[in-house]
Structure 1
Amino acid sequence: MLLRILDRFEEVLISVLMAVAVALIFVAVVHRFSLGAAADLVGYARSHEMTGLQSAARSVFKAINSIKLTWAQEACIYLFVWMAKFGAAYGVRIGIHVGVDILVERLKDPAKRIVTAIAMSGGILFTAILVWIGTDFVYHVRLGGQTSPDLEMPMWIIYLAVPLGSALMCFRFIQALYLYLTTGYIAHHDLSSVDGVEEEAKDVAEGGHG
């Protein structure tokens, strides 16, 4: 039950972070384009001595310019950082991380089982170290009182993505190792769901036979 809640929370969090980032980028681009278009319209009206249009365009320009979105780029960067950290943990869970397993696939039990367990244990160790270092870093940043330039948000909150995302990733490695040792199952991404991959593999196979 708790694992299902965690899985769902992970998926929702990544989706929300991605949606908010995309929406912010869209709004910022529209805002910048509208500001430029309004400025061009003011210049056009002035050059053609269209006083009424010039006044209206200037009013629109001032209204758009009053909306400050200088923080949007910074916010998007932080959102993508959080999405990347938790997305990495999600990648471990569903098995989409890139891995060179050509040698492992040629091994037979028990060598294959030992090498796979060592590889997963390495992931656990690495992410555990990241949790430790990240937590120490966040602690010292909080003591320093550092804030972000545009959002003026405490940086320690933003940097929390490192220890929290790494902790979840470490848990996913532990989960994957336990599942492998007890059932022999390793999560892997189904490449047949990717458009073109199945057809390309088929063409390669047919070419090899030819």
Structure 2
Amino acid sequence: MIYMKKFARVYVKAENFLTNFLMMAIAGFVFFASVMRWAGSPLSWSIEFSQLLFVWVIFLGANRALREDSHISVDFFVKKLPDKARAVLEIIISILVMAFLIFLIIFGIQLSIENSVRLISNLPLSYSFVTLAVPIGSLLMFITLSLKLKEKIMRLKTDPAK
């Protein structure tokens, strides 16, 4: 259990570093492409590479937002529910989201396999590098949501008054 918590801390730090780094890299590539275009030597690969990185930032950032409870939500009516009903509703919603994430994992893998022979225009890279963000990001979100779900269920069991 101690190793798992240590691994989780290291993973969170690595994911935060990676998402921050990728965002800076995207800004750098777009800026570099703009400067080169202004100088009369446009780099077409820079924009495609930035788009590839952006897809990864979206899915890694979605996991980060899920972990930090930063996703946008409308909770006007949910806040009016009693604590126990709110907890049960959150568990149901988490299960539904996990089912959708399983769908994304399965079909994201199929999409990545189908796109393995397709090349990104102006880059000698397979389009699978882009589409792999879907199943990998969804798997990370599934793991994060599973841990949060376990915590919610344990909290509901230990505090029956809620």
Please name the residue that 2:114 is paired with. 140
Q: Percent identity?
A: 26
Give the alignment's TM-score, normalised by structure 2: 0.87
1:71 to 29, 45, 55: 45
Q: Note the aligned Cα RMSD (angstroms).
A: 1.4
Q: How far apart are 1:152 and its partner, in Å?
A: 2.3
Larger-gyration structure (1/2): 1
- The answer as to 2:99 corresponding to 1:94 is no
Greater RCO (Cα-Cα under 8 Å, separation 6 or more)? 2
Please name the residue that 1:192 is paired with. none
2:128 to 156, 169, 175: 156
What CA distance in whole angstroms lies between the structure 2 residues aligned with 1:110 and 1:11?
33
Q: Given residue 71 of structure 2, which amino acid in structure 1 is its aligned partner?
A: H
Please name the residue that 1:109 is paired with. 83
**Kept in 2: contact 1:104–1:116 (CA 8 A):** no
Q: How far apart are 1:21 and its partner, in Å?
A: 0.7
> What number of residue pairs does the alignment pair up?
151
**Kept in 1: contact 2:104–2:138 (CA 8 A):** yes
Give the secondary structure class of the aligned counterpart of 2:44: coil
Q: Given residue 75 of structure 2, which amino acid in structure 1 is its aligned partner?
A: D
Unaligned 5+ runs, structure 1: 36-64, 185-210
Q: How far apart are 1:179 and its partner, in Å?
A: 2.0
Give the alignment's TM-score, normalised by structure 1: 0.68
What CA distance in whole angstroms lies between the structure 2 residues aligned with 1:32 and 1:122?
46
Unaligned 5+ runs, structure 2: 1-5, 157-162
**Kept in 2: contact 1:28–1:69 (CA 8 A):** yes
- The answer as to 2:142 corresponding to 1:175 is no
